[in-house]
Chain A
Amino acid sequence: AQTVTQSQPEMSVQEAETVTLSCTYDTSESDYYLFWYKQPPSRQMILVIRQEAYKQQNATENRFSVNFQKAAKSFSLKISDSQLGDAAMYFCAYRSPNNNDMRFGAGTRLTVKP
């Protein structure tokens, strides 16, 4: 079964600075989907960004971008110009095209300091 590892339980960043959250995964598949989800204190999980493995171009959504390294099985999230509202738990997730379910990492708690 695929596994997802987030090695940073907690991270902090100064407001307006840039922070990178790490994620690695283990798979033998060549085609798959990767996601970053944000869970603020309200508990509502929100999709931040999505990457399709067959696309070499890194996904970008406004201040959020990823560094997808397929050979290294790495999928990091970069948050630029951090805002107080970015403070949340961030989960990395893997989804196989052959299975219906999604595999999640343990999460990284991001604190944004004013």
Chain B
Amino acid sequence: DVKVTQSSRYLVKRTGEKVFLECVQDMDHENMFWYRQDPGLGLRLIYFSYDVKMKEKGDIPEGYSVSREKKERFSLILESASTNQTSMYLCASSSTVKYGYTFGSGTRLTVV
């Protein structure tokens, strides 16, 4: 069964900590995405990557960075976590644009 795996289901971090959210896919997809999901706002794109070492900013990149050193792994980094980054984070991957995404099961991050 094809998968997108997010390393943590729940995380609690302190303000100012550096936080790493990891995502791994086993489908050899070129494209990988990080979204943030908040009630009433739907899913908002933080960053995406269309190839190894390539990245593009989404709609809300401020306070985040990403890393893609290998095709199967796409990491989201919160350089200095803040309480307004408390949210659900969803990773996704896809091949061509005509198909939808395959999503991970999400990481619920709480910053205290």
On A, residues with C-beta under 8 Å from B are 4, 6, 9, 33, 35, 37, 42-45, 47, 50, 52, 91, 93, 95-97, 99-102, 104-107
Contacts and interface: CB of A to CB of B under 8 A. Distances in A.
Chain B: interface size category: 20 to 34
12 contacts: A6-B42, A42-B105, A43-B105, A43-B106, A45-B103, A91-B43, A95-B97, A100-B31, A101-B45, A101-B58, A102-B100, A105-B42
A29 B34 CA distance: 25
B48 A100 contact: yes
B23 to A, nearest CB: 13
A100 B50 contact: yes
B70 to A, nearest CB: 19
Interface in B10-49: 31, 33, 35, 40-45, 48
Nearest to A109: B39
B64 interface: no
Given A43-B106, A44-B105, A91-B43, A35 B97 contact: no
Interface in B77-112: 88, 90, 92, 94, 97-101, 103, 105-106
Contact of A52 (B42, B45, B90, B98): B98
A96 B97 CA distance: 7
Contacts of A99: 97
Contacts of B94: 100
